[in-house]
Amino acid sequence: MSNHTLRPLSPWMTESVKDLEALEFLTLVLNAIEVWDDIIDQDNRVTPDDINNVFSQLLLKLPANEFYQRHYTALAGMIVVMITSWHTSNADHSTDESQAHAYTLRKEFINLVVLCVALTSNFADARAASLRGWTDSASNDSFNEFSRGE
């Protein structure tokens, strides 16, 4: 059975992002990131259906998403930052400090959500989304769990 059906976004994301096309964009990107991470880390089973689904979503649904089309320049730049941060986070975990940096770098998706809020609302809402995202992350994905490999 596949682990990678399109899952709902966290409540802090759906409370922060009011634009339905932006929410669909975030769902597609998050799903792709999760499958990609599971393939690289080999910590969750990824089926051929998972891979087929994510590639179909990236090649067909994502380019057709109106929010993505409208804000491609800003979104593409943030996606580059997310990808390079994730690669950097996987590079070195040899010290406590590098592990702390890796933990934070893996959370760039929070900033993509904040950018989506900024593009569809205003700076105050983006700040509120950032606070919600980092608070949610601290309570639901602790550094201690990350450092233990959970």
Check: CB of residue 129 under 8 Å from CB of residue 115. no
Residue 4 predicted with pLDDT over 70: no
Query: pLDDT class for 5, splitting at 50, 70, 90?
Result: low
pLDDT of residue 109: 96
117-131: pLDDT as tens digits:
999 999 999 999 999
Query: pLDDT class for 149, splitting at 50, 70, 90?
Result: confident
d(CA 75, CA 139): 27
10 φψ region: left (φ > 0), alpha (ψ -120 to 50), beta (else): beta
pLDDT of residue 55: 96
pLDDT of residue 6: 63
Query: pLDDT class for 2, splitting at 50, 70, 90?
Result: very low
Give CB contacts under 8 A, 24+ apart, made by 35-40. 35/4, 37/86, 38/3, 38/4, 40/90
20-59: pLDDT as tens digits:
999 999 999 999 999 999 999 888 899 999 999 999 999 9
Q: In sequence order, which ranges of 20-142 are alpha helices (DSSP H)? A: 20-41, 48-56, 62-64, 66-70, 72-91, 96-105, 108-120, 123-140
Q: Region 6-18: what's the mean pLDDT?
A: 91
Residue 84 predicted with pLDDT over 90: yes
- pTM as predicted: 0.91
Q: Where are the domains of the chain?
A: 11-147
Q: What secondary structure does DSSP assign to 35-62, as a single string?
A: HHHHHHH--S---HHHHHHHHHIIIIIH
